[in-house]
Each structure stands twice: as structure tokens, then as C-alpha cells.
Amino acid sequence: MDCAKYLELLSDYCDGTLDDETRALVQMHLGECLPCDGILHDLDTIVRTAVILRSETNSITYPDEQIIWQRLSLSKQIIH
Ligand SMILES: [Zn+2]
């Protein structure tokens, strides 16, 4: 199981920009890998929260993308 490979794809998976074949592979991995599935949920929550914060505040820029990538690299270290 190559979690690091799939974690790199999760961001695109959330955005829905993966091709069908790759998305199916990611889905299959998420179905059998609890840590990666948990990270997807985290990522999804962060992205949703960031969108809400942006729409509520308008003028303030939160470093949300940076937080996401920090969390992802932390997760990678844990899984490795
Ligand atoms: Zn995994």
C-alpha cells in the first residue's frame, strides 16, 4: 500500500480534477485504508471551513492552503 502516492492525489480528488481511472484507484485505496480516509475527511473539513471563513470575512485572507499542506506533510510523516 503506497499511502504517500495517494495522499498526493487527495487534494485533486477533493477538487474533482482526477481522471476516472485515477479517481477509482484513490477511492479503492480509501475504502481499505483508514488513515488515508481520515485525512480525506480532515482535508474536506478544512476546505469547507476555509470557504465559509472566506465568504464570511471577505476582506481577510487566511493562509488555509498553507495549513492544508502542512497537515498533509505531517500526515505523510506519521504514515511513513
Ligand atoms: Zn493509505
Q: Which tens digits make up the pLDDT trace of 65-79? A: 777 777 777 766 665
Rounded to the nearest angstrom, the distance between the alpha carbon of 75 and the centre of ligand 1 is 10
Question: Global pTM?
Answer: 0.60
Domain that holds residue 12: 3-79
Burial 19-35 (b: 16+ CB within 10 A, else e): eeeeeebbeebbeebee
- Give pLDDT, residue 66: 72
Helix (H) or strand (E) holding 27: helix 20-32
Q: Is the pLDDT of residue 62 over 60?
A: no
pLDDT (average), residues 31-57: 86
Rounded to the nearest angstrom, the distance between the alpha carbon of 64 and the centre of ligand 1 is 23
End-to-end Cα, the chain, rounded Å: 11
- Give pLDDT, residue 23: 96
In the block, residue with C-alpha cell 470557504: 51
Contact 67, 5 (CB under 8 A): no
* Reported confidence tier of residue 1, pLDDT bands at 50, 70, 90: low
pLDDT in tens, 2-29: 899 998 999 889 888 999 999 999 999 9
Instruction: Provide the domain count of the chain.
Output: 1
Rounded to the nearest angstrom, the distance between the alpha carbon of 4 and the centre of ligand 1 is 7
Rounded to the nearest angstrom, the distance between the alpha carbon of 8 and the centre of ligand 1 is 11
Rounded to the nearest angstrom, the distance between the alpha carbon of 40 and the centre of ligand 1 is 10
